[in-house]
Every structure is written in structure tokens, then in C-alpha cells.
């Protein structure tokens, strides 16, 4: 049985720039990395989110994969935040552009959008107690 999402894995073009975005702008913490067993070359950097949740960054992304709403498969990452406005300000202070400033969505949650250095869409969400997300989490009827 599933108990959570352990990690999200992204292949990045520029590891330093990716770590800057995910650590300095979003607040994750770089905790460990692995080298390739056969060559010893850098391979994966792990960033800690919460408890046993991580973002894995793989080195050496070579081909762009621009987002398109008509493509099947991966669409975006969503990170839950405790203060959407403070989170958006932190991203801007780190030198990154907010694609969509904080606003309340159809689900009654606050949301903001930013794009990482490799073109991955990142949603930030502050859960509202009136949202279906909060009700499901609390075991309440919708």
C-alpha cells in the first residue's frame, strides 16, 4: 500500500543553477549526493523537503522538454506552503520571476506559479480550511 510520495526526480542542465532555485528560492536543503558507481562521476543530488520527502536532481540534462498543455504525462510540481505571499516574496528576492502572483483558485486554495531553470512548472499552494483538500485530509465530507 502507498504511504506517500518519497521523491520527485528531475534531470537538470545546470546543477548549480537548479540547486540555487530549489534551495535558495524554494527553501529545500541539499543533504547528500551519489556518484556513479562505475565512473565516480557526479550523478544525483538529493534535496530534502520534509520527513522522508526529497527532490532528486540528476546531472547532465541535454535536451529541452518545453511544457505544452496538450502533452500527455508530467504537467507540474505542486509544493504546499504555509504562507503563499511570503513564499512568492522569497522567490522574487532570490532573483526568480513569479509567473502567476498569488491568487485564490477554484479549489479555494491560494496558489502561485513559477518556472524552474529547466522549464519545469512549479505550483505553490497554501491550503485553505474550506478547500476540498483540507476536508479530505480531515476526513470530512465534501
Q: CATH number of the domain that 48 lies in?
A: 3.10.180.10
User: Looking at the domain assignment, is residue 34 inside a domain?
Assistant: yes
Task: Give yes or no for a contact between 6 and 53, defined as CB atoms under 8 angstroms apart.
Answer: yes
Residue 68 falls inside a structural domain: no
Q: What is the pLDDT of residue 130?
A: 95
Determine the structural domain holding residue 135 and report its residue range. 75-142
**Same domain as 13, residue 38:** yes
| Residue 67 belongs to some domain of the structure | no
Q: Which residues of the chain have pLDDT under 50?
A: none
Q: Are 88 and 57 members of one domain?
A: no
Q: Give the pLDDT score at 66.
A: 85
**Cross-strand pairs, 125:** 80, 111
DSSP string, the chain: ------EEEEE-S-HHHHHIIIIIIT--EEEEEEE-TTT--EEEEEEEEETTEEEEEES---S-----TTSSS---EEEE-S-HHHHHHHHHHTT--EEEEEEE-TTS-EEEEEE-TTS-EEEEEE--TTSHHHHHHTT---
67-90 pLDDT, tens digit each: 898 989 889 999 999 999 999 999
In a domain, 135, yes or no: yes
- The reported pLDDT for the residue numbered 52 is 94
Q: 44 with 97, same domain?
A: no
* 19 shares its domain with 42: yes
pLDDT score recorded for residue 32 = 98
What's the pLDDT at 48?
A: 98
- Spatial neighbors of 142 by CB under 8 A, at least 6 apart, are 132, 135, 136
For residues 43 and 87, state if they share a domain.
no
Residues 118, 55, single domain; the answer is no
Condensed to tens digits (0 to 9), the pLDDT of residues 129-139 reads: 999 999 999 99
Distances (CA, A) of 39 to 16, 35, 42, 46, 121: 21, 8, 9, 19, 32
User: What's the number of domains the chain is made of?
Assistant: 2
pTM of the model as a whole: 0.93
Q: Is residue 82 a part of any domain in this protein?
A: yes
- Give dist(CA 82, CA 46) in Å, integer: 23
| Total length of the chain | 142
Amino acid at each position: 500500500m502507498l504511504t506517500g510520495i518519497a521523491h520527485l526526480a528531475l534531470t537538470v542542465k545546470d546543477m548549480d543553477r537548479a540547486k540555487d532555485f530549489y534551495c535558495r528560492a524554494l527553501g529545500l536543503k541539499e543533504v547528500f549526493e551519489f556518484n556513479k558507481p562505475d565512473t565516480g562521476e557526479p550523478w544525483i543530488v538529493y534535496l530534502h523537503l520534509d520527513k522522508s520527502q526529497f527532490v532528486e536532481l540528476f546531472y547532465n540534462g541535454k535536451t529541452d522538454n518545453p511544457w505544452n498543455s496538450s502533452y500527455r504525462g508530467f504537467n507540474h510540481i505542486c509544493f504546499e506552503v504555509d504562507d503563499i505571499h511570503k513564499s512568492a516574496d522569497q522567490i522574487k528576492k532570490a532573483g526568480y520571476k513569479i509567473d502567476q502572483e498569488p491568487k485564490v483558485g477554484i479549489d479555494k486554495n491560494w496558489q502561485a506559479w513559477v518556472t524552474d531553470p529547466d522549464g519545469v512548472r512549479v505550483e505553490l499552494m497554501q491550503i485553505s480550511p474550506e478547500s476540498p483538500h483540507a476536508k479530505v485530509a480531515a476526513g470530512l465530507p465534501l
